[in-house]
Amino acid sequence: AKKWINIRKSYGNFYKVPRNQTKLTIMLENLGMNYDGRPHSGLDDSKNIARIAIRMLQDGCDLRVNERIHGGQLMTVVSSVPLEGAPAPQMPRYRN
């Protein structure tokens, strides 16, 4: 793969949160989700990242390639179309 979507970058930009709020467990928690599976398991991490991506799409995010490898160097892909953000995710409110 030479191009991909860095979900941490997309999440931070879309929900307007600082980089320290883009760790996998924090992103899930902010979206009202629990981590499913074993931490640091590649398959389980991937499934949880996919759940975040689905939620972002449901919230109106237009996920786009934002990183690539060129000449062995990691590069940020800048889109000419501005991304519209959504309010920061809120923990679901439970009714008593």
Within-domain flag for 11? yes
Within-domain flag for 75? no
Residue 83 is predicted with a pLDDT of 46
pLDDT by residue (tens digit) across 43-94?
999 999 999 999 999 999 999 999 998 888 888 887 644 445 556 666 555 5
Within-domain flag for 55? yes
Within-domain flag for 96? no
pLDDT higher than threshold 80 for residue 42: yes
CA dist list (Å): 89 to 59, 70, 76, 92: 9, 34, 25, 9
Within-domain flag for 79? no
Residue 40 is predicted with a pLDDT of 87
Structural domains in the chain (count)? 1
For the segment 35-43, the average pLDDT, to the nearest whole number, is 94
Q: In the chain, what's the furthest Cα-to-Cα distance? A: 57
pLDDT by residue (tens digit) across 18-37?
999 999 999 999 999 999 99
Domain span including residue 39: 7-63
Within-domain flag for 68? no
Within-domain flag for 38? yes
